[in-house]
Amino acid sequence: MLEIVDGLDEFVERDFWDYILRDIPRYFFFILDLKHYPEDCHFLIAKRDGIIVGICLIWKNHIAQIRSEDPEVIEALYRAIPQEIPIDEITFENRYRDLLFSLIPNPIKQMSLHRMILQKEKMIPRYPLEKPYSKQLLNREDVDKIVELMRVSDPDLWGFTTEEKFTFDENKTYTGLFDGNKLICFTLAWVDEIAAIISIVATHPDYQNQGLASYLVNEAVHMFMEHTEIAIIHVRTDNSQAIRVYEKMGYEIYMTYQNVRF
């Protein structure tokens, strides 16, 4: 019998960690968010005969990520999301694409994304940036420049990004390249001893195809590998150029998923 448990008690949490640590790249956000931002997490746990068979992570009452090997469980977790939680974004693994669009037939926006991983032994050497730009760590005072760059670099993906969506803490590293006072490229990296992720890469359209994003990504990878063994990055499945670049850097496609906003 399938049971949906709302929240984590100490017994469920023990089984939860056993379940997600079996596949770190697949459950990276589940791991990172519960370890570092538990107050922003809401979990639904699907159990069958006392064994966990699926998990839904609801982040800041806004984004839901659902994972299971069983489509019946996927649907049950989706339907178990409390109606009072105003989620407006959800991700399913690509194999459940048809189920996702049967549940949300008319999303406002839909994206197909690859999760790519890089193992420490496959990273390439560091190399200099042979461009007249300066590299700087970014902080909260730069958030207006970050948002402006994201909006212009990919209006379809980030056109409605706001400053309120950004947090700055010891787990996140924002690194930018400047042409004078103009932010032209930046990355956002999250680091944990289990794994690390580059969650945002953005380059101004006037500065693309100069290798700037590749340089910052590789710099982040070398920073990661001082603390962990796995680096993760996301890329749209239709961005063949970026996929080729990341593959040359040692990344491999690990999984594909659908993200919808509604």
Q: Residue 157: is its pLDDT beyond 90?
A: no
pLDDT in tens, 48-66: 999 999 999 999 999 999 9
Summarised one tens digit per residue, pLDDT across range 59-117 is 999 999 999 999 999 999 999 999 999 999 999 999 999 999 999 999 998 999 999 99
**H-assigned helices in the chain:** 10-20, 28-36, 71-80, 97-103, 143-153, 155-158, 212-224, 240-248
Percentage of the residues of the chain whose pLDDT score is greater than 70: 100
Are 90 and 66 within 8 A, CB to CB?
Answer: yes
Neighbouring residues of 254: CB distance < 8 A, sequence distance ≥ 6: 25, 26, 114, 115, 116, 117, 232
Check residue 97 and give its pLDDT: 95
Q: What are the respective helix, strand and coil percentages of the chain, to the nearest 5?
A: 35, 35, 30
Separation CA 88–CA 58 (nearest Å): 11
Q: What average pLDDT does this structure show over 18-26?
A: 95
Degrees, nearest 5: CA angle 33-35-38: 60
Nearest by Cα to 123 from 36, 218, 196, 236? 218
Structure tokens at 148: 């402006």
| Residue among 116, 125, 149 nearest 219 (CA) | 125
Structural domains present in the chain = 2-105 (3.40.630.30), 118-257 (3.40.630.30)
What tokens were used for 252? Answer: 């491999």
- 186-213 mean pLDDT: 94
User: What is the pLDDT confidence band of residue 9, given thresholds at 50, 70 and 90?
Assistant: confident
Residue 23 has pLDDT above 90, yes or no: yes
Cβ 187 vs Cβ 217: under 8 Å:
yes
Mean pLDDT for all residues in the chain: 94
Instruction: List, for residues 215-250, the tens digit of each pLDDT value.
Output: 999 999 999 999 999 999 999 999 999 999 999 999
